Amino acid sequence: MDDEPPAVRGEPPAAPRVVRPRPDAPLADRLLPYLPVPPAVEHADAAPPAAPRTEDAAPAQSATAAAVPASAAATAGCRRIAVVSRSGGVGKTTTAVLLAAALAAPRGARVVAVDADPGGGLGERAGLAPGATRGRVPTIAPAVGADVVADATWLREPDARSVVAQLARRYHAMVFDTRTGLLADATQALLAHVDQVVVVTVPAVDAVRGAVVALEWLHAHGHAGLATVAVTAIVAPPARGPIDVERVAQVLASRCRDVVALPWDSALASGGALDPAALRPETRAAFLRLAAVTAGEAAQ
């Protein structure tokens, strides 16, 4: 209704209306009744809401946020970002969650993180209790400041493109946590719906080789536009190894648009729910930079 006040970021979200679409209804009709519609702003042609001030905001985050004009809310249209990796255990899901948080932070943008990995754990890493997410229904993850969709099996359905397009009208950015590797059916279907790719790797020979192969695969299989604007995120290990991050960055810099080093942070080591406020200032600054370069340019 027009006279309903908009939700205020930081307050508990109102309980969603119970909508029971017909089982044979089009996919868009089954999903979209649950979606939150951003009040008064959809994209960058309207002024995004100012981010709320918080007492625990670190100076490094504030300074970096002020220098991030290419945040999701300041970009024309909705950014649709696939976070991929060729190797498992490199921090792909962690990167996806904290990228969504960083995209939402500087300008109060509306961001949704989508678990496109069947059986993946993006919801739990975003701070939601097991079973708290309801299939395709977006659920707010307060600690992250973004919504979460736990089930993306609909990406393989015939009308997935229209669903992504309608989601894009309600969010400034969508971050997809994909299945490891690029050959999974769900991941290949997803690449048709995104305009940006983040390749996650670690400074190890096999992982870096996998990142190079992933970027070359994009070029060779009809996704040269994505490969051209791709960003590589290098997740640093807890201790300096025989291959340093700077050397890896040099190897990858000629194969993608940008490389961002993500420092090791003990707050990421537990494998449980992530709390962006618990990160060290330099870690938060690194994810804000990843958000800036990721939102800055998209494949045509």
Q: What residue segments make up the domains of the chain, in order of their start?
A: 79-296
pLDDT of 41 strictly over 70: no
Which range is least confidently modeled, 134-143, 217-226, 251-260? Answer: 134-143
Measured between alpha carbons, how far is 199 from 222 in angstroms, rounded to an integer? Answer: 17
The mean pLDDT value of the chain amounts to 75
More confident residue, 32 or 250: 250
DSSP annotation string for 195-252: SEEEEEE-SSHHHHHHHHHHHHHHHHTT-HHHHHH-EEEEEPPSS--SS-HHHHHHHH
Q: How does pLDDT run across 161-189, given as a tens digit for each residue?
A: 777 887 888 898 999 999 988 888 778 88
pLDDT value of position 173: 92
More confident residue, 207 or 61: 207
pLDDT of 216 strictly over 90: yes
Choosing among 3.40.47.10, 3.40.50.300, 3.40.50.20, 3.30.1330.40, the CATH entry for 79-296 is: 3.40.50.300
Measured between alpha carbons, how far is 288 from 282 in angstroms, rounded to an integer? Answer: 10
pLDDT of 5 strictly over 60: no
- Residue 118 confidence class, pLDDT cut points 50, 70, 90: confident
- Report the candidate in 41, 100, 121 with the shortest Cα–Cα distance to residue 74: 41
pLDDT of 46 strictly over 70: no
Q: Report percent pLDDT > 90 for the chain.
A: 35
- Residue 220 confidence class, pLDDT cut points 50, 70, 90: very high
Q: Which helix (H) or strand (E) holds 262?
A: strand 258-262
More confident residue, 74 or 186: 186
pLDDT value of position 219: 92
pLDDT value of position 138: 80
pLDDT value of position 100: 95
Q: Report percent pLDDT > 70 for the chain.
A: 69
Greatest alpha-carbon pair distance for the chain in Å reads 62
pLDDT value of position 133: 64
Which range is least confidently modeled, 63-72, 217-226, 238-247, 283-292? Answer: 63-72
Contact in structure between 186 and 156 (CB atoms under 8 Å): yes
